[in-house]
Structures are given as structure tokens and as C-alpha cells.
Amino acid sequence: MSTLTGTRGLIRLILRRDRLILPLWIVFLTLIPVSYVSSFNELFPTAASRRQYADNSGFITLYGVLPDTSLGEFVTWRVGFVPVMVGLISILTVIRHTRVEEETGRRELLGSTVVGRHAALAAALATTFGANLLLGILIAVGMHSQDLALAGSVAIGLEFALAGWVFAAIGAVTAQLTSSAGTARGLALGALGASYALRAAGDTSAHADGPLWWLSWLSPIGWVQKLYPYGANRWSMAVLALVVALFLVGVAIALSARRDVGSGLLPARPGPAAGSAHLSTPLALAWRLHRGLLAAWVVAFALLGVLFGAVAKGVGDMMRDDSATREFFARIGGKAGLIDSYFVGVLTIAGLIAAAYAVQATLRLRVEETSGRAEPVLATATGRLRWATSHLVFALLGPAAALLAAGVGAGVTYGATVGEVGHQTARLMGAALVQLPAVWVLAGIAIALFGLLPRLSAAAWAGPVICLLLGIAGAAVQLDQWVLDLSPFAHLPSLPGGGLHVLPITALILIAAALAAAGLSGLRHRDLPT
């Protein structure tokens, strides 16, 4: 029997399982750049206005360097964060259909049939690569339909597709390294975050003629952005990204051949023979399990806040100099001041990222359940609700700590540039923490799925992804307001600068509480695997 026997059947199974979420993210990500063409042509009709908008260290950090000022190049630059989203979705898809399948035991069940050793990995990669290729084709067709050059349209389609391919391959590699899906996601998402940080640092340094311009050449995100669609169309960068993706696929296959099903190449560190007295309660055990993840997220958010605060003054100066830019930011940031509008936008993004952390921490319950580690705990006097709430403390308060770190980082950094450290820190801490009710709603959805429909727990990841898509591109693609209102983040007060409205915050907290209560009630009455 070939090691790839059964791949075609597994591809059909993946397509059936992802028949809703797969078309959703493909279509939505296609609409983002296509819809930007007409809106940006109206807002920035001249090369001078485009250059003035883009020639700012804050936007260069977020989106990269604008190589030239044609409409196609400007749109490609402005959607510079979308390849990161494509990479994120590709990572989650591959790990879901590889490591999660092994962790839950379904891979072993399938392996008892006529299925080759590498069939599951090949099916996950083939499906994800195919989805990214379809995304690239649709983007190329859509951009060319907007009277943009065919070569440039093909290049931007390749930029998106190749970003997905590289990070899908990275996800495949990390799925071989560890026996935990959560750890595999953490490693792959760490690689994605490092890639974005290297690209941002390299481009920012290059803009200021600094010595660290070469950092962006270490980043897969930097490689695909250096395709420069509608300008140089540097096909060599596409070849580089493709070669690296195929090399990583080969590495994943080689690693898969060297390990047992259900295990990872990196062995779990054995614990001490006798447990510490500090692990005598479920909350203490949960702290032991969550503390590394919590520390990593808090540090990452603090650094993110420092980045937001460092570029805020430059963004504000640029916006005050250009009426078209002021109009654009007024549309997405409300009637608050220009700097406040900027912080509303970036702290909302921080809230969306914190929601991903909340989902990850909540789904640790499912990992403990399916791995069999929850059974010995529940065999003691510990009840199900006490066990679950010990983990949910970190799912609900962990994002609060992370957002607080982002607010402090942004407030101290920006406050130092304007001489108002105390005032700005207090304002931005409040603006960051106001994201919590929306974060808790998405955590509540994860709790409800875990308690009521545990086999669909992984679907909780769709919440942050959909909210991110609605927040970044919903207005640009002119979706109906009721669609935009599906995101809990659409109902939050616009802080800093806006008014603090208690009613929507209270409503979101009540919705989150109801979802959590439903999930915990379901956990009490359903069977647990033994």
C-alpha cells in the first residue's frame, strides 16, 4: 500500500467538513482588494495624494513600503496586512486536519482502514494549497476586471496564494513537532508573528535609511510583498516563496515518517515523581498549564502597544496635512480626534487578537478532555464546573491582562512623545479594556460549543476570523449594516475620544454570560470520553 493511499477520499472529507468556512474566507478575502480599487481611486485620485498618504513610518510599519504611486500598486500596498490573514487561516486549517485529528483519535481510526501513512498530511496540504490557489485566481480575475494590468493582477494573486502556501507548510512542520494541537498552533503563529515583525522592522529601517533593512529579507511576508504587483512584478520573489514552501512540505513529510501516530518529535518533558503541594487545587493546576501561554501573550501585547504608541504622533501629523486622509480616517474612526481615531482602529485590532487568545485558552478544556488528562482530575472530589471554571479564569481574565499591557505600552510610549504620560496611559488603558465585552462574547461562543457540541469546538476559531474580516473590510466592500453588526466589536464605544455608553457594554456582557452558562450546563449533562 502506498503512503498516499486514500488521499483523494480524505480531501473529499475535508471539503465536506469545511464546506461553509472555506468558501466564506475565500470570497471575503477576494472582495477586500477588489473593492478597494474604486474606493481608493475616489479618495486618492492623484499620485501626490497617494504618496503623501503612504510616506509615513506608521503605515510603513503596518503595511510595508509603497514602491510607486499607480492605483494598482497603492491598493496592493494598502492590503499589505491581508497576506498575514491568509497565512493565519492556512495555519489553522492545516493543523486542524492533521494534529487535531491525531489528538482526538480520529487519525488512528482512519489509519486502521486502507489509508497510507502520509495521506492525512497530503490531503490537508492539498486542500489548503488548492484553496489558496483559488483565492489567488479569483483575486487576479477581480483586479483585472477593474481595468488593472493583467500581469500585475496575476502578481497580486500570487502574493496572496504564496503567503498561504508558505504558512500552510510551516503549520504542517509544527504539527509534526509536538503532540499538542495548541502547542503546534503556538509555534506556527509565533513564526507568523515573527515574520510580520521582521518585515515591519526591516521596512521601517529602510524608510529611515537605517542599518536593519535586511531584516525584511528574512520574512516570508516580506518576500511576497516584494513581488511589487503592477510595478516591477518581480517573479523571482514568487519562485523563492514557492521553493521555500515546497522545501517545508518535504521537511514535514520527512518528519512525519520519523514519528509515531499521535506523538510528536519533541517529547513531552517528564514531570517530577511527586507533585508539588501548590498543585492541590484545580485553579493551581490550571495556572501551571496556562502560565507560559499567558506570559507570552502579555509580552506580545505590550510590544504591540509600544509599536502603536511609537507611530501615533507621526500618523497624526500626516493626517493633519492632508484633507483626503482626514476624510478617510473620519469614516473609519468616527468624530473623535485624528489621533483618537487611529487608536480606536488599532486597539480594535488588538481586541480581535485578544479574542483569538480567549478562544485558544478556552479550547484548552477540550484538549484536556480528549487527551484523557481531565479524567484523573474529575475522578477526585473535583466537580466538572470547578474544573472548567479554573481554566475559564484564564480565558476571561487572560485577555484582560494582555489588553491592559497593550494599553500601558501604547500610553507610556505615546505619552512620552507628547509629554502626557500619566494622562495618555490612563486613557489608552481604558480604551483597551473596553474591548473586553466583545472578547468575552467570542469566548462565550467557544464555551457554548465545548459544552453543548464538543465535536465542533474547533469551529470557535471562526468567530475571531469572521470578526476580523468584518472589521477590516466590511465597510470597504459595502456590506449591509446588519451584517457588520454581527460582530460584537461593532457595538463597542469608540474610545478614546468617544462617549462611554453603558448599554451596549452591559448587553455584550449578558450575552457572554448566557453563552457561558449554556456551555457549562451542557458540560454538566453530557458524557465525557474515558
d(CA 228, CA 339): 30
Task: Please report the pLDDT score of residue 273 as a whole number.
Answer: 65
**Could you write out the DSSP letters of every residue in 317-378?**
HHHHT-HHHHHHHHHHHTTS-HHHHHHHHHHHHHHHHHHHHHHHHHTHHHHHHHTTSHHHHH
Q: Around Cβ 493, how many Cβ atoms within 10 Å?
A: 18
d(CA 375, CA 432): 38
Helix (H) or strand (E) holding 445: helix 436-452
Cis ω for the linkage preceding 229 (within 30 of 0): no
Task: Please report the pLDDT score of residue 201 as a whole number.
Answer: 79
Task: Please report the pLDDT score of residue 73 as a whole number.
Answer: 93
108: its cell numbers: 488512528
232: its cell numbers: 516591477
d(CA 170, CA 165): 9
Q: How far is CA 117 from CA 3, 259, 336, in A?
A: 5, 11, 58
Q: Is 301 exposed, middle or buried (0-12, 13-18, 19+ CB in 10 A)?
A: buried
Taking each helix axis as running N to C, give the angle between helix 421-433 and helix 338-362, from 0 to 180 degrees, rounded to the nearest 10: 50
Instruction: List the chain pLDDT tens, one digit each, 530 residues.
Output: 577 788 888 999 999 988 888 888 898 889 889 888 888 888 888 888 888 777 766 677 778 888 888 999 999 998 888 898 899 899 989 998 998 888 777 777 776 677 777 888 999 999 999 999 999 999 999 999 999 999 999 999 999 999 999 999 999 999 999 887 778 888 898 888 888 888 887 887 777 677 778 888 999 999 999 999 999 999 999 999 999 999 999 999 999 888 877 677 776 666 666 666 667 788 888 998 888 888 888 988 998 888 788 777 666 665 555 555 555 555 544 334 667 877 887 888 889 889 989 998 999 898 888 878 888 888 888 899 999 999 999 999 999 999 999 999 999 998 998 888 888 999 999 999 999 999 999 999 999 999 999 988 888 888 888 887 777 666 555 667 787 888 999 899 888 877 888 899 999 999 999 999 999 999 998 888 76
